[in-house]
Chain A
Amino acid sequence: MAKFGTAEVYKEMGDMLNNDDEWLNKRGTKISYSMVYDYGEPVDKAFFTRFEAGRVTEVRELESRGNIDADFVISGSTDTWRGVLTKTVDPTVALTRGQLKVKGKMATLLKNMNAFKYVIEKMSQIPLD
């Protein structure tokens, strides 16, 4: 059980992916990026994750959102993130309609969309507190 709106969710995600053969050996092999998940009010926090050839090597809550150094920053309202993690909001629709906003190279994101969708799918399996 991970507490929604905390780094626990992303640590849990890291544990799941780092023990997932399908991810490590197939789907995630090209994923070597740093990503920040930014939550609006009331959570109002941002979480940094680093992927190296699929393996999650770093997870932490950012102390400040100024000058975020990451390949991708995905930001959304608390409600949108909750919807994505509980599968009531389709992340691709949320991205299209601006409920989730992306900063970073669109071309890279799109080329790896299936891998990123797999990560979201795994995250939605995390029991939330």
Chain B
Amino acid sequence: MSNKKLIQLSSFFLKLKSQPMTAVLFLCASFSIIILFLMLFFVAQEGAYAFTQFGSDLLFGMRWDLESNIFGGLPLLFGSLMVTFGALIIAIPIGVSTSIFVSEVLPFYLRDPIKSIIELLASIPSVLYGFIGLLVVVPFIQDVFGLPSGQTALTASAILSIMTIPTIVSVSGEIISAVPKNYKEAALGLGATKWETIKSVVLPISKSGILASIMLGFGRAVGETIAVSMVSGNQAHIASSYFEAIYTIPSFIATHMGEAAVGSTEYSALFGLGLILLIITFIVNTLADVVVKRGVHQ
């Protein structure tokens, strides 16, 4: 750290010392950082034993067997990524087209009601999504595809996509409606149709924002626990198609934490899985932030 930066930093903290109210406010604002660090610390601490014991096998091992003390999370990681990608494949086209439609085509007085409905979708708790999935989607998929059980990766992806759409719509909608009006008017003035304007002006400008919204959607989907564990069948294996049951990291943690004895190897391995999940979402969210900021700068 250079001298100048050090002086800046110390004057920042001196100022806090002389103004107690500012210091209190600063402390509240730093809470998020403190909590994040504590979270990383505690999850890593509890999972450390499993990592020293199994190393990368925790991530790439094929078998999770309590009796023979083998803990490999690859089928779970595979299951997580499989349902997340499935959900995104459904959610991206719907989400992006919805946000374009809401902020470009829809008449002004309809925007608030539609946005409110999307917000309501976002606030429905995951246990209710899981419930509806079990009640409606599971039997539906079982009948339509003639499967022995409707609890498949496809079911989980379908439910997850409905949960991911609000994230994609709200973030990319914000970026799309921030496109300067005169850009659009210039294109329209040159004789472009509304659709041509959207395609060649609005979309290229808001590209990075849309990308960020997809990444945030990924982060939300990969960590979804309750709904997925209710409809995905919960079988840890490398599924060869979306019509098979799978197990994801978060739902595995949720269903196994209760049985694992505190301090046991399994307990530590579950925290190890949690750490992997935390790091994945951490990277994705940070990248999304960077992408948005760079997009705004341009």
Q: Are A and B a genuine interacting pair, yes or no?
A: no
